[in-house]
Amino acid sequence: MYGLNSIRGWLVATALAVAFAVVSPAAAMRPYGQRQAPPRAQRAGPGPRYQQGRRAGQWLRQYKDLPPEQQRRALENDPQFRRLPQEKQQQLQQRLQHFSSRPPQEQQRILNRMDTWQRLSPGQREQARQVFSQMKNLPPQRRQAVRNAIQALRGMPPEARQREIDSDRFKSQFSPEERGILGGASKLPLAPPEE
């Protein structure tokens, strides 16, 4: 069975990974074992001790090929899942249902993003949360324009990203708030462009 932190990590990672992916080749090379367990006092809730190297997407990887009904039963029978508050259980069930409804290629992309999220430092995770929160406040068309710009920035070396954000072209296309979001995102390890 997977630890409570693994299940909670899955909940947090899927929420952010689906909406906003951050990856870098350097981060991808960092082994999972470099992640340290939090002190006992910081671990939330009952359950087994946190195990180093546990990936948030590990549960999904194990059960992703089962039919949705079997996935749901496996989740509901997990003792760690049962220890979560009802609200968190419902969120996980909804995320599992959403994940299961996606095509296999998109499921793999989500799992890869979850792995990436696990590799981010705590500071990078906080920065990603802030960028995501700011993006959520944008109108849908502007949010998509910012996502498209982030996608374009992924193909650039880090030092070229800020030059592009400061360019007259970006200043004419994006508000100062949007360029601030782009600047925050560009400081994170970004994934290579998706096909």
pLDDT at 142: 96
Tell me the average confidence (pLDDT) per consecutive run of 10 residues in the chain, 195 residues long: 51 48 33 35 34 60 89 90 92 91 89 82 90 93 94 86 94 95 84 52
In a domain, 96, yes or no: yes
Domain identity same for 134 and 170: yes
Q: What is the pLDDT of residue 55?
A: 56
Residue 138 pLDDT: 95
185 in Cβ contact with 150 (< 8 Å) = yes
Is there a single domain that holds both residue 103 and residue 168? no
DSSP conformation class of 33: G
Q: How many domains does the chain have?
A: 2
Last residue of a domain, one of 68, 100, 119: 119
The pLDDT of residue 9: 55
Asked if residue 51 is part of any domain, the answer here is no
93 plus 11 within the same structural domain = yes
Asked if residue 151 and residue 68 are part of one domain, the reply reads no
pLDDT value of position 194:
54
Segments forming the whole domain that contains residue 135: 122-186
Based on the fold, state whether residues 99 and 13 are members of the same structural domain: yes
pLDDT (0 to 100) of residue 147: 92
